[in-house]
Amino acid sequence: MYFTTIVPLLPYAVSCGMKFADYGLDPDIIRQLDKLKFKRPTDIQYKCIPHILRGEDILAVAQTGTGKTAAFAIPIIQLIHDKKKKERRADGIKCIVLVPTHELAEQITGVFNEIGKHTQVRTLGIFGGVDQDPQIADLQNRNDIIVATPGRLFDLISQGHLRINRVEILILDEADYMLDLGFIDDIHDLRKKLPKRRQTLFFSATINDYIKKLAYKIIHQKAIRIQVSPKNPVARNVEHSVAFIDMDDKRFFLERFIREHPDDKILVFVRTKVRAERVLKAMKRVEISAVNIHGDKEQADRTHAMKLFKSGINKLLIATDVSARGIDIPQVEYVINYDLPDRPENYVHRVGRTGRGRHKGQAVSFCAPQEMDMLKEIQQYIGAPIAVSDVSKTDYETTVLLSQDDEKDWKKLMEMGEDILSKRKKKK
Ligand code: ADP
Ligand code: MG
């Protein structure tokens, strides 16, 4: 163990009665938590903080929006704050947090700097898509913690701008994602470069057996596994349902939904970058203002779109799965899965962009006949059926008919119109 901290043992404490002050945290941290209105630790914070303070490795799984960031940020800031007080030469990077996207790196850097505001602990975000020179300049500023996306981190290490020989803590947020896909080789390379003795922490809302095994291989000491209400990984605060809609009609339903919820912030997920552009255009045609974000957009445009959506200047964001992980946007009332995701766990992450902290949220998925298999897979994954929101035939046809989109299939619409009229006559 590299850091030692005296942690008061509270064997009988229960999460609801526990206060941040009970962990023996520095008053400068407590004061700031008060200011942030963090009155009590959430369950995952309650369970993680003592272990992390003791220098233990953990694999922590808890639903979206339950405060996982602070669950590692608070104890890490405490450990480094302590170390800096005790050791005169406590310079160098002591902790690396790896995350999948630029946006998440910025967000988590913000959380660390906010919680550690009154301490000497400094956190820097390092991510691609922007000029690296300012980041290199910032690296001269005696940072303690780096929050990074893998690509840019490796560039700066290999160019000799970033020394990692003093890193004692490695954190993987969205750990299942970071250990999967393209990142795993990078992570192995990084491990080889890091000091052997270190603390490793994994956090995510979703995990599977394969990733669990991989994670345990990376951890060298006995890891503590912490799991909060894992059975159904969808956050408790999210009410979610599915509506059956043909692929070509989805835009009309989105249009209607937006008109019926003019004051709400809505995050729409689509399957591909091309569709993110198409749906944006379809909304523009019916004079609904929206912004979009996807992997092919310039970083400056991505940042701008996110800013407009976060501030609420623009209440509609159309996104691909790049925004499904970790992003904490205040007051997103609705998530719409315009397309079902490619991977079932992404369903959990997407709908988890609403219903965060104490807020409630709603999610609706538009499921076309060709997406039925994925719907089944998702239900299997979350271990429960998704409620169906019934759309009657008349309702369906009216939605298409009332759309202001000029590119409608008029022949089909005339038929629908006649159908509705004849039904009305029959009713009379
Ligand atoms: P997760 O990583 O679990 O998805 P986040 O760490 O992004 O969740 O936190 C979700 C929201 O909850 C954030 O807006 C955060 O500020 C808030 N939050 C975290 N911990 C607390 C707490 N103890 N008290 C009140 N709000 C909290
Ligand atoms: Mg998170």
**Is the pLDDT confidence value at 110 over 90?**
yes
pLDDT of 360-369, one tens digit each?
Answer: 999 999 999 9
Tokens coding 388: 């169906």
Sheet holding 169-173, edge to edge: 123-126, 145-148, 95-98, 169-173, 199-204, 58-61, 224-227
pLDDT above 80: residue 311 = yes
List the domain boundaries for the chain.
13-228, 238-391
Q: How far is the CA of 186 from the centre of ligand 2 (A)?
A: 21
Percentage of the chain lying above the pLDDT 90 cut: 73
CA 271 to centroid of ligand 2, rounded, Å: 22
Confidence of residue 184 (pLDDT cuts 50, 70, 90): confident
Give CA–CA dist 126/12, Å, rounded. Answer: 41
CA–CA separation, 250 vs 259, rounded Å?
A: 14
Tell me if 13-228 shares its fold with 238-391: yes
- Closest-lying ligand 1 atom to the alpha carbon of residue 44: 3
Query: Does ligand 1 come within 6 angstroms of the Cβ of 69?
Result: yes
Distance 241 CA to ligand 2 centre (A): 23
User: What's the average model confidence in pLDDT over 230-242?
Assistant: 91
The protein residue with its alpha carbon nearest to ligand 1, atom 9, reads 67
What are the start-end ranges of the E strands in 245-314?
Answer: 266-269, 291-293
Domain 13-228 top-level CATH class = alpha beta
CB-ligand 1 contact for 65 (6 Å cutoff): yes
Q: What is the atom index within ligand 1 of the atom nearest the CA of 64?
A: 4
Centre of ligand 2 from the C-alpha of residue 357, in Å: 11
Task: Please determine, looking at this structure, whether the domain spanning 238-391 carries the CATH number 3.40.50.300.
Answer: yes
Distance 69 CA to ligand 1 centre (A): 7
Q: Which atom of ligand 1 is nearest to the CA of 20?
A: 23
Mean pLDDT estimate for the chain: 90
Ligand of minimum distance to the alpha carbon of 104? 2
Nearest ligand, measured from the Cα of 356: 1
